[in-house]
Amino acid sequence: MGEVHAGLADVARRAGVSPATASRVLSGTGPASTASRAAVLTAAEELGYRPHPVARQLARRSGTRVVFVVRDERTDILRDPFVTRATAAMAAVLNPYQIGMSLSRVGLECAAELDHLAADRGVAAVVLAGHDRELLAHLPPRLRGRTAVIGLGGTDISAGSADVSHRNGAGTDVSCGNGVGGADVDSASGIGGLITHLYALGRRRIALVAGPSWLAASAPPVRVYAELTRAAGLPVRIVRGDFTSVRGRAAARVILRRWPDTDAVATVSDATAMGVVQALAATGIKVPDDVAVTGFDDVPLAGALYPALSTATHPVEEIAVAAVKSALGESPQVRLFPSIPMIRETCGGGGACGGSASTA
Amino acid sequence: MGEVHAGLADVARRAGVSPATASRVLSGTGPASTASRAAVLTAAEELGYRPHPVARQLARRSGTRVVFVVRDERTDILRDPFVTRATAAMAAVLNPYQIGMSLSRVGLECAAELDHLAADRGVAAVVLAGHDRELLAHLPPRLRGRTAVIGLGGTDISAGSADVSHRNGAGTDVSCGNGVGGADVDSASGIGGLITHLYALGRRRIALVAGPSWLAASAPPVRVYAELTRAAGLPVRIVRGDFTSVRGRAAARVILRRWPDTDAVATVSDATAMGVVQALAATGIKVPDDVAVTGFDDVPLAGALYPALSTATHPVEEIAVAAVKSALGESPQVRLFPSIPMIRETCGGGGACGGSASTA
DNA sequence: CTGTTAGCGCATTCAC
DNA sequence: GTGAATGCGCTAACAG
């Protein structure tokens, strides 16, 4: 009880068995008779035995940290709310595994970095955000089986061999063809819901500020937007953004110049939506009276903005947790989470969540 | 080049030296002649040698992860923007060390958890947020020397033996008496600046929504507020909050009831400030015309709120980095970062950063 | 300055 | 089922 640190050998000795048996019992692997099992367990208990994580990881060759790799052109992407929330969630859920979390940004050309990671024997698993199809196809072999992606980018996450089936409900399990698991929101349904709502409110000239084209996850929103818009016989108006408010402002100006009669702007990022609102306000255009605006993600303060931001809300923490577990080889390989529209003030008209600041 | 993994022995053999010498050269510790040093370096280069982090950490008994311990009553504190930003910053800066990051919440009574951490040989260092004096005094001995705190809570961070001297400029180095390092913002000057500004704008009935009293970091703002207010012969009006918007709303109602003539509310959290604004608006009170409001921290969207939030801006990422480095025994033990007032719309009057949404 | 000898603490072959 | 040996890959203490 006052001992510095009981080791496996101490436990074995006290239990009257060999270190090997003690190891088998305590690590839960391998056979052991009920008798020796009990002896080892009580001995460990009495000695207050705590396995040395590092020694165990070395012997097991299992690595000590999960690396969250964010692929983006922006160097400040690591301050992005989505990234920080996801990182924190993973760092918290990995606690019982005695595994740590690393965060690292890579540029669009990141083959070298990924190879480097694959060669690092301290890396237990990798969670990758911001991928495209090609990247996954050329994933270093050493990373296969211990990598998960966030942002699936449509139904095929593995450049061809995917098989995403169900997408109903929260955290639906989905099958996937290759060694790369992942997690994401059903962005198509979220964006679809917002656009449908805008349409129901009478908006007929809806523009979309999409994500960057190099990003796989940018595809589904664009596809859904285009489908809905064409089906309604409305004009398709797409501008590319990059999840920042700066690009949101620029996008708004482009939209106003090219299609002055636009009466709604849907975006794929709350920050972008805020940029759009700012730019519109600067031009004297009223939100939502003249132009409705929607965001995406529902960042913590989105509902406290003025006007309160209509957006789609996502369980970022759950997504992150699902991704690490998938990367560690647990649970389903691919999970899809719901993207639920939050109708607030920037949509105009009546919504589920009414606002109180429309008293102009 | 096609080898699976070059080990230290391979490098040593190729360089014509012993593994020990190779280790000394590659780990940068211990002496080595210029000749063998060069030989080892080129051999390692040619073999593409990458040290095995886990083996190294085991032999060195150094641990593989830094644990960020957040002490708070709220279970959702791990979603707090400050916590997620700090966690992400640490997870990123630890990369070159090949050390991971863990995040964990503990309740106010956390002696057992800290003991547990102290016994975990996988833990390289601990960064603690939300401490009070007593906690630091009773810190497990095993944690001493590898622990840093965020939120110093005044001039004495070690229950008596501190010696904080300079506090001018960015990241000023400060000396400290015991084995616990730390990092924080100079909250006193930030709050002081905001209150002084409110006073300059003509506010004379300024209330403060302070932090929880169990938290050491709550003290400086209260002290400064009280000093400034008394010096000006104005009434001291303090209500306790907890960094949430919910408590902000409650605090606003309390303030209105107890001191109806209040014309400004300073807070120690942006979320709290937003709650105050909401509650005031719900009562028909205009911000900033009737009551000015200030926040604290300058969360990413604070400037995009309506009205844009006056607050104090803090280099959260730098603070986090300073804290981990201090915990790992690098650089100065205690660092103080500036807290700079950002005067925006909720202050009323003219400010440095004008808003554009005041066109009602 | 260098090489030799021991570990670090646990997991895992193999025979028995 | 169990135990004895061997290895994980590197660092550290000790002589030379």
| Sign of the CA dihedral with B101 first, then B107, B113, and B114 last | positive
Is pLDDT at A195 greater than 80 in this prediction? Answer: yes
Residue appearing with tokens 């009478």: A202
Instruction: Provide the pLDDT confidence category of residue A333 given band limits of 50, 70 and 90.
Output: confident
pLDDT at B161: 33
pLDDT at A11: 97
pLDDT at B4: 75
B26-75 confidence digits (pLDDT tens):
999 989 999 999 999 999 999 999 999 999 999 999 999 999 999 999 99
Cβ distance A209 to A239 under 8 Å? Answer: yes
A7 beta carbon to strand C: under 7 Å: yes
pLDDT at A164: 41
pLDDT at B332: 66
* Three-state secondary structure readout of chain B: CCCCCCCHHHHHHHHCCCHHHHHHHHHCCCCCCHHHHHHHHHHHHHHCCCCCHHHHHHHHCCCCEEEEEEECCCHHHHHCHHHHHHHHHHHHHCHHHCCEEEEEEECCCCHHHHHHHHHCCCEEEEEEECCCHHHHHCCCHHHCCCEEEECCCCCCCCCCCCCCCCCCCCCEEECCCCCEEEEEECHHHHHHHHHHHHHHCCCCCEEEEECCCCCHHHHHHHHHHHHHHHHCCCCCEEEECCCCHHHHHHHHHHHHHHCCCCCEEEECCHHHHHHHHHHHHHCCCCCCCCCEEECCECCCCHHHCCCCCEEEECCHHHHHHHHHHHHCCCCCCEEEECCEEECCHHHCCCCCCCCCCCCC
Interface test with A, best of B102, B113, B272, B311 (most A CBs within 10 A): B102
Cβ distance A242 to A212 under 8 Å? Answer: yes
Instruction: Provide the pLDDT confidence category of residue A175 given band limits of 50, 70 and 90.
Output: very low
Is pLDDT at B305 greater than 70 in this prediction? Answer: yes
Interface subset of A 49-68, CB within 8 angstroms of B? 50, 52-55, 57-58, 63-66, 68
DSSP secondary-structure letter at A79? G
Which of B58, B78, B356 is opposite residue A92, by nearest beta carbon?
Answer: B78
CB contact under 8 A, B64 and A83: no
Instruction: Provide the pLDDT confidence category of residue B350 given band limits of 50, 70 and 90.
Output: low
Judging contacts by C-beta atoms under 8 Å, the chain A residues touching residue B65 are: 64-65, 98-100
The whole-angstrom separation of Cα B206 and Cα B85 is: 31
A142-172 confidence digits (pLDDT tens):
999 999 999 877 544 433 333 343 344 444 4
Closest residue in A to B102 (Cα) is A91
CB contact under 8 A, B100 and A98: no
pLDDT at A183: 95
> Whose CA is closest to A283, among A255, A304, A247?
A255
B116-158 confidence digits (pLDDT tens):
999 999 999 999 999 998 899 899 999 999 999 998 775 443 3
Counting one residue from chain A and one from chain B, the pairs whose CB atoms sit within 8 A come to 167
Geometric angle at alpha carbon B149, from B109 and B329, rounded to 5°: 130
How far away is chain B from the Cα of A246, in angstroms, using its nearest Cα? 12
Judging contacts by C-beta atoms under 8 Å, the chain B residues touching residue A119 are: 5, 50
pLDDT at B175: 39
pLDDT at B333: 80
**Percent of chain A at pLDDT above 90?**
82
Geometric angle at alpha carbon B65, from B61 and B68, rounded to 5°: 130
CB contact under 8 A, B58 and A63: no
Which of B81, B100, B104 is opposite residue A99, by nearest beta carbon?
Answer: B100
Is pLDDT at A284 greater than 50 in this prediction? Answer: yes
Interface subset of A 174-213, CB within 8 angstroms of B? none
pLDDT at A166: 39
Closest residue in A to B307 (Cα) is A306
- Mean per-residue pLDDT, B244-266: 97
Is pLDDT at B174 greater than 90 in this prediction? Answer: no
Cβ distance B298 to B267 under 8 Å? Answer: no
Judging contacts by C-beta atoms under 8 Å, the chain B residues touching residue A122 are: 52-54, 64, 98
- Mean per-residue pLDDT, A86-110: 98
Interface test with B, best of A3, A8, A52, A65 (most B CBs within 10 A): A65
Q: What is the mean pLDDT of chain B?
A: 89
| Sign of the CA dihedral with A328 first, then A119, B320, and B149 last | positive
Is pLDDT at A187 greater than 50 in this prediction? Answer: yes
B9 beta carbon to strand C: under 7 Å: no
Judging contacts by C-beta atoms under 8 Å, the chain A residues touching residue B98 are: 65, 120, 122
CB contact under 8 A, B87 and A83: no
Q: Distance from residue A246 (CA) to nucleotide C3 (C1'), in Å? A: 62
Judging contacts by C-beta atoms under 8 Å, the chain B residues touching residue A94 are: 100, 102
Judging contacts by C-beta atoms under 8 Å, the chain B residues touching residue A8 are: none
A246 beta carbon to strand C: under 7 Å: no
pLDDT at A77: 96
pTM comes to: 0.92
Which of A92, A122, A301 is opposite residue B54, by nearest beta carbon?
Answer: A122
Interface subset of A 269-328, CB within 8 angstroms of B? 274, 278, 281-282, 299-301, 304-307, 317
Which positions on strand C lie below 7 Å from a protein C-beta? 1-13
Beta bridge partners of A100: A65
pLDDT at B30: 86
Is pLDDT at B109 greater than 70 in this prediction? Answer: yes
Instruction: Provide the pLDDT confidence category of residue A92 given band limits of 50, 70 and 90.
Output: very high
pLDDT at A332: 66
Cβ distance A143 to A228 under 8 Å? Answer: no
> Whose CA is closest to B95, among A96, A352, A70, A43?
A70
Instruction: Provide the pLDDT confidence category of residue A2 given band limits of 50, 70 and 90.
Output: very low
A200-246 confidence digits (pLDDT tens):
999 999 999 999 999 999 999 999 999 999 999 999 999 999 999 99
CB contact under 8 A, A64 and B68: no
CB contact under 8 A, A102 and B94: yes
Q: What is the mean pLDDT of chain A?
A: 89
Which of B64, B85, B300 is opposite residue A64, by nearest beta carbon?
Answer: B64
- Mean per-residue pLDDT, B304-333: 93
pLDDT at B111: 96
A55 beta carbon to strand C: under 7 Å: yes
Which residues, 6+ apart, have CB-to-CB distance to A85 below 8 Å?
A316, A317, A320, B79, B84
Q: Distance from residue A48 (CA) to nucleotide D3 (C1'), in Å? A: 24
